[in-house]
Amino acid sequence: MSTLEANGASPISNYATASDPTNVQRLGTGPSNIPIPPVAPNYVDITDVFAKEAQKIRPGELAMLETFELVNAINALEIMDLKMDTGLLDMLSRDKEFDTKANRAARQVLWVMDELFAMEMSWHTGGALSQTVFTCLYIEQALKNFNGCVSSAHFGDESNEVPISSDEDLESVFVHVVLREFVLGIIKTCDLSRRRLQCNEIMEDEDIVTQTYSLDLMQFVPVSKICSGLTDAINKMKRLKTESEKQHVHDQETADLLGCIDGFIVRLELRILAIKALDSVDDAPEKQIELLTGTGDLIRRVVSTNSLAEPLPVAFSIAIQGRLECGMPPRPKVEMSFGDAIATLERLINGIRDVLRIHDYGSLGDITTYFEEFAMRRPTELPYVRCQLFKRFFVHRKIFGKFLMRDAVIADITDLCCPSPALFAIDESHPCRQALDLFLTRAEVCFENLFSIMCHNRARLRQRLCGAIMDWDSLQVDSEHLESSVEMLEFSPLLPTDQRSSDEGIRALPLSSWVYFRKLQIMIWIVFMGFELDIYRLEEWPLMLWYGDYILGVMDSHVARIETILEITAAMRQDSTTHYTKSRKSKKNKGAKSISAMPASGALPPSQESIMRTRMWLAGLRSQIGVYKELCHGYMCFMAALVLAGCVRSFTASPVDPSKEEYTTPELLYKLRMKPFSTIGVPEVPSFETYQRLSDLRDWQIDSLLDNAQITVNNARNMTDVWSKLKPEQQINTKLVQESSAKMRRSLTRSCVGTNVAISVLRQMNLQHRSFVEENKLKISVLRDNFHPFFPVLSVSTRK
Amino acid sequence: MPIIYRKYEPPQTARDLTAIRRLISQDLSEPYGIYVYRYFIYQWPHLCFLALDTGDNLVGVVVCKLASHRGVKLRGYIAMLAVATAYRGRGIATKLVRLAIDCMIEDGADEIVLETEVDNESAIRLYERMGFIRSKRMHRYYMNASDAFRLVLPVKVESDREVGPSSGAGDMYI
């Protein structure tokens, strides 16, 4: 797009398949194949009526049904316009001149195989089949001839028999054996991937296009048949190689031929492995790992023989779109270089391998952390990998096909709040049993949804979180209602806080605490993913950092509260029951406030192991919150300095040029930005006036703001260092995410370092003199690569 | 060279529509069918503004719609905006958008929305100068696989007007 003043390109997902099969010629069916309706229609010639009625319409008047909408307008076919009519494209194409039966040199066959592989990878990254795999004329011919039987999927035309020539005709064998088996292998891998990709976690058109335009990707052909054909082709090539080697001819031509044959063998072997791996996606992880491990060497050998390939671009054409059941206007082939295709394949394999690690979980709580880390990866995992994670995790409505989602909810509540194990073991006769069940059922839905959301692409993920927050808010109301009932108080006894304090004590309320924690975490993700996805313009940064800091503060207090309760519980557990009972009686006699300091009968204290686990989790959380908060402060001070210097406009100032008419106000924009959070009860969104008051910079100086920025960013860095130096045994969830957590902490350190550099640069510019600003010499840009996604770094430089 | 701004005039349909289509198609990664132009321009001709040079040649155009959004608000939508390459950098796009927004506000719009490619810095800058903010990012929204930003300009706190049932049009962008 070279547009300067236009909204942009055409929106995707607006073109659907033509519903009328008579509009387009389907592959394998000529006009003569259009089925005849069982009852002959009674046609009436309306030409005259139509012409007469059309006369009544003035130019510019639109005749349409009330139900005609934009989507219909976009999907409407416009014939006889080369840019819009794929049928016309087909008519004008020279595809018919390409003979799929013709013999081809080994080098050309090698190129077609690699190009087809690149098209497959291009499809995996979002290109439609009509723009990728289906652009190959060999694929078209094989699918056109396919009648349900593998042998029918050949490169000859329908009227002829399979034109496989004798073995002496090498070039025929390369096409009709090697390439054909490879083509069938590609069709099968696409079929297996496509079936897997049809899930809620992957957005059709947005992540992947599974549309096949009514073509059968040999869905019912067994994998064994395809693999058997591939194996036969491999054996044939191996024999051929042996025979050629026996002839002891050492010229370049023979060497190249042998190189190509090697290339064929390795590509066919890799295809078998790919089919087997895709076919066994639900099998034991060990089997998958074994298959995937074998790909490494094959990929290296494929790469090493690619240089022998000789391009045969006429074997690919977009005119095929005119022969598909497809209502889209012509679209270009989605090119991908061989190097990029190999890199994509490696990403795919590594992603699948990594997903298999979830089976090594220590506890269900580990998996929650794995999903969070998985969602944060840069670049985002490929659609197939994201889909694979959820499908591996949630099998037949159960986690790994074994545990109920309820188990994960309970594990998560236990990890965070360490409640009495009796809470989830109350018997049928307990008055709260039904209400607790109902709560857990609702929590299961919210929790499952959260796992599913984590598998979406980042933009969609943020959008879905904005919806999920309301469900969690509603769940919080339920949990608070449940835990406020007298019968449930036995699981949240009043615990003593500080004896000297006038507080009445503190109740654990583990269910509400857990829901609130998860809700706050979602809010934090929504706020900071806005930075990651570049949703905030620069003048909004101070506002969103301020709001992020506010939510982090609420979260910190909440986690601190859970920590306090945990330590009281741990202290109580450490003391002997007898001692505690005595103490309790004594306090009771004295009318002390810790009336229910001991768990009531039935409410067993948590195990020492549970307490340790929660302690580690909370410590990790507080480290993370602490670093985020310090970074927020540092960024806020830095941004405030830029605002004060006039380099960045204040959000509370007029949004437009004062000389122009204003369409909106800062308050309206504030409300719009806070919209995802305005519907929830707690924590309440601060009023615009509050923000306006707190963001007043009149009493600040640029230098003192930069001093503060530097101090807090340094604090953040030091805190990250301390966090990073925790020994594995001091951290929870080490097994699954240790490496990626360390990577994330390194990116946080880089954000600290990067911002520190920017602060220093700004300080050296001596902005108090404002000469840079007045002369518009300052350039501020956002750097994202290698920095923490939530904390991109601002770079300040002077314009030349 | 002075530029003349005027609304689309239905009697001149064929000529204007052809010119509009030609101008907009130059900037699109994939052309819209004639029905898309008819959908917008024939239903909301008063929300289509043209910029013409002294020779009466079309050099800029903005195409919009205004409809109820989910029955709760009246949403203006800037569907297409284009300025001929030779005439860019002269504020024509800004003027056209302002004319359209003024008209939609006059007709009771509560908010104005549009989508633009995340890399289209000049378009984003143009709209953000008017107060639009990015409400969300949409993954691979365009046919060229690029992401889009939804830009929103809230123009009223809330509406106490009665609005008709949602046409559903425009919901596809959500």
Is A661 in Cβ contact with B153 (below 8 Å)?
Answer: no
Cα gap B62→B60, rounded to integer Å? 7
A24-49 residues labelled b (16+ CB within 10 A) or e (exposed): bbbbbeeeeeeeeeeeeeeeeeeeee
> Which H or E element spans position A720?
helix A702-724
CA dist A327 and A19 (Å) reads 8
Q: Where residue B19 sits, what CATH number does that domain have?
A: 3.40.630.30
pLDDT above 60 for A212: yes
Contact yes or no for A465/A453 (Cβ under 8 A): yes
Q: Is the complex ipTM higher than 0.95?
A: no
Structural domain contains residue B153: no
Confidence (pTM) = 0.88
Tens of pLDDT, residue by residue over A748-757, are 999 999 999 9
Could you give the CA distance from residue A279 to residue A283 in angstroms, rounded to a whole number?
A: 9
Host H or E run for residue B81 = strand B73-83
Going through A221-345 in order, the beta strands assigned E by DSSP cover none
Query: What pLDDT was estimated at residue A40?
Result: 62
Which of A295, A260, A303 is CA-nearest to residue A108? Answer: A260
Asked whether the beta carbons of residue B81 and residue A534 sit closer than 8 angstroms, the reply is no
Confidence category of residue A364, pLDDT binned at 50, 70, 90: confident
Q: Are A637 and A705 in contact (CB under 8 A)?
A: yes
Residue A797 confidence (pLDDT) above 80:
yes
Nearest-angstrom CA–CA distance, A736 and A372: 11
Facing B145 at nearest CB: one of A61, A62, A126? A126
Of B42, B93, B116, the CB nearest to A8: B116
Cα A319 to chain centroid, rounded: 33
Q: Of A719, A565, A542, A498, whose CA–CA distance to A630 is shortest?
A: A719
Query: A56-65, A209-218, A367-376: which range is least confident on average?
Result: A56-65
CB spacing of B36 vs A126 below 8 angstroms:
no
* pLDDT confidence bin for A9, thresholds 50/70/90: very low
Q: Locate the chain A residue with the closest alpha carbon to B117.
A: A8
- The first and second tokens of residue A388, run together, are 């694979």
Contact A520, A548 (CB under 8 A): no
A773-794 confidence digits (pLDDT tens):
566 678 899 999 999 999 999 9
Please give the helix or strand (H or E) that residue A443 lies within, else none: helix A433-453
A364-376 and A734-764 helices, crossing angle to 10°: 40
Of the given ranges (A94-98, A310-314, A670-674), which has the lowest mean pLDDT? A94-98
Q: Which residue among A458, A540, A663 sits closest to B153, beta carbon to beta carbon?
A: A663
Scored b (16 or more CB within 10 A) or e, B72-110 reads ebbbbbbbbbbbbeebbebebbbbbbbbbbebbbeeebb
Which of B153, B162, B32, B157 is CA-nearest to residue B100? B153
Interface test with A, best of B63, B133, B172 (most A CBs within 10 A): B133
In a domain, B11, yes or no: yes
Stronger pLDDT, B18 or A596, i.e. the higher one: B18
| Interval A241-279: pLDDT, tens | 998 888 877 788 889 999 999 999 999 999 999 999 999
Instruction: Judge whether A118 and A313 are in contact, CB under 8 Å.
Output: no
Say how many C-beta atoms besides its own lie within 10 A of residue A313's C-beta. 10
* Residue A42 banded pLDDT, cuts 50, 70, 90: confident
Q: In this complex, do B27 and A84 lie within 8 Å of one another by their Cβ atoms?
A: no
State how far residue A445 is from chain B, nearest Cα, in angstroms. Answer: 24
> How would you classify residue A6: left for phi > 0, otherwise alpha for psi between -120 and 50, otherwise beta?
beta
Name the amino acid, one letter, at A240.
Answer: L
Q: Taking phi first (over 0 means left), then psi (-120 to 50 degrees means alpha), and beta for anything else, what does residue A336 get?
A: beta
Structure tokens at A699: 């009493």
Mean pLDDT of chain A: 86
User: Is the predicted pLDDT of residue B165 greater than 50, yes or no?
Assistant: no
Contact status of B18 with chain A (Cβ, < 8 Å) = no
Identify the residue among A13, A64, A70, A687 best suited for mutation to test binding to B, counting B beta carbons within 10 A and taking the highest: A70
pLDDT tens digits, A332-352: 999 999 999 999 999 999 999
Q: What percent of chain A has pLDDT over 70?
A: 85
Lowest model confidence (mean pLDDT) among A32-36, A378-382, A619-623, A693-697: A32-36
- Largest Cα separation within chain B, whole Å, is 45
For residues B119 and B147, give the distance between their C-alpha atoms in angstroms, rounded to a whole number.
8
The reported pLDDT for the residue numbered A738 is: 79
B42 and A62 within 8 Å at the Cβ level: the answer is: yes
Distance between CA atoms of residues A254 and A691, nearest Å: 77
Mark yes or no for CB contact B129/A657 under 8 Å. yes
Looking up tokens 């009466």 gives: B56
Q: Nearest 10 degrees: CA dihedral of A364, A399, A346, A372?
A: -40
Q: Is B162 within a domain?
A: no
Residue showing tokens 């000389």: A659
**Shortest CA gap A332–chain B (Å):** 9
B18 pLDDT higher than 70: yes
Task: Indicate the number of domains in chain B.
Answer: 1
CA–CA min distance A682, chain B (Å): 23
Domain housing B76? 4-114
Q: Measure the CA dihedral A290/A293/A298/A301, to 10°.
A: -150
CA–CA dist A124, A194 (Å, integer): 9
Strand partners for A394: A399
Query: How many angstroms separate the CA atoms of A671 and A669, rounded?
Result: 5
Chain A closest-CA separation from residue B53 CA (Å): 17
Burial of A162 (0-12, 13-18, 19+ CB in 10 A): middle
pLDDT given at position A709 = 97
| Backbone dihedral region for residue B7 (phi beyond 0: left; psi -120 to 50: alpha; all else: beta) | beta
Report chain A residues whose CB lies below 8 A from the CB of B42. Answer: 60-62
As given in the structure block, the two tokens for residue A775 are 């002369």
- Closest residue in A to B167 (Cα–Cα): A69
Q: A161 falls in which pLDDT band (50, 70, 90)? A: low
Predicted local distance difference test score (pLDDT) of residue A564: 93
- Give every CB contact of residue A199 below 8 A, 6+ residues apart in sequence: A387, A390, A391
| pLDDT of A129 above 80 | yes
Identify which of A70, A206, A331 has the shortest CB distance to residue B39: A70
A126 within 8 A of B145, measured Cβ to Cβ:
yes
Instruction: Enter the tokens of residue A360.
Output: 């090594």
Distance CA A605, CA A611 (A): 10
Q: What is the model's pLDDT at position A635?
A: 97
3-state class (DSSP) for residue B73: strand
Rounded to the nearest angstrom, the gap between the alpha carbon of residue A649 and the centroid of all alpha carbons in its chain is: 34
Interface test with A, best of B21, B38, B72, B136 (most A CBs within 10 A): B136
Confidence of residue B11 (pLDDT cuts 50, 70, 90): low
DSSP B83-118: E-GGGTTSSHHHHHHHHHHHHHHHTT-SEEEEEEET
Of B33, B145, B167, the CB nearest to A78: B33
Express as a percent the part of chain B with pLDDT over 70: 85
Specify the DSSP class assigned to residue A559: H
CB under 8 Å to A390, separation ≥6 — which residues? A199, A201, A451, A452, A455
Answer whether A672 sits within 8 Å of B154, measured CB to CB.
yes
Which residues from B are below 8 Å from A78, CB to CB?
A: 33-35
- Would you state the pLDDT for residue A768? 58
- Cβ partners under 8 Å of residue A619, min gap 6: A726, A730
B8, B13, B27, B129: best mutation site toward chain A, by most A Cβ within 10 Å?
A: B27
- pLDDT band of residue A606 (cuts 50, 70, 90) is confident
Residues of B in contact with A207 (CB under 8 A): 139-140
Q: Closest chain B residue to A61 measured between Cα atoms?
A: B42
Q: Do A459 and B93 touch (CB under 8 A)?
A: no
The pLDDT of residue A21 is 29
Burial string for A381-402 (b: 16+ CB within 10 Å, else e) reads: bbbbbbbbbbbbbbeeeebeee
| pLDDT beyond 80 at A321 | yes
Q: Are strands B111-117 and B148-154 parallel, antiparallel or unpaired?
A: antiparallel
3-state SS class at B63: strand
Give domain status of residue B159, yes or no.
no
Task: Give the closest residue to A409 by CA, choosing from A565, A515, A480, A566.
Answer: A515
d(CA A637, CA B59): 46
Would you kindly state where each structural domain of chain A is located, as residue ranges? 95-358, 364-535+575-606
Name the residue among B13, B34, B22, B16 with its Cα closest to residue A61.
Answer: B13
Q: Is the peptide bond preceding residue A605 cis, with omega within 30 degrees of 0? A: no
Query: Nearest chain B Cα to A540, which residue?
Result: B133
**What DSSP letter does each residue of A292-318 carry, written as one string?**
HHTHHHHHHHHHHHGGG----GGGB-G
- Please give, rounded to a whole number of angstroms, the shortest distance from the CA of B28 to a CA of chain A: 5
pLDDT computed for residue A56 by the predictor: 85
Mean predicted confidence (pLDDT) in A143-170: 75
Q: List, in sequence order, every residue forming a beta bridge with B5; answer none if it has no partner.
A: B51
Decide: B8 and B40 in contact? Cβ < 8 Å. Answer: no
Compute the distance between CA of residue A703 and CA of residue A711 in angstroms, rounded to an integer: 12
The one-letter amino acid at A108: Q
In B87-116, the residues whose Cβ lies within 8 Å of chain A are 88-89, 92-93, 98, 101-102, 105, 112, 114-116
pLDDT digits (tens, 9 = 90+) for B70-120: 988 999 999 999 999 999 999 999 999 999 999 999 999 999 999 999 999
pLDDT digits (tens, 9 = 90+) for A70-122: 888 888 878 888 888 888 888 888 898 999 999 999 999 999 999 999 999 99
Is B159 in the A-facing interface, judged by CB distances under 8 Å?
no
Reply yes or no on whether the pLDDT at A599 is more than 60.
no
Q: How many CB pairs under 8 A join A and B?
A: 208
A431-445, A723-737, B145-159: which is most confident? A431-445
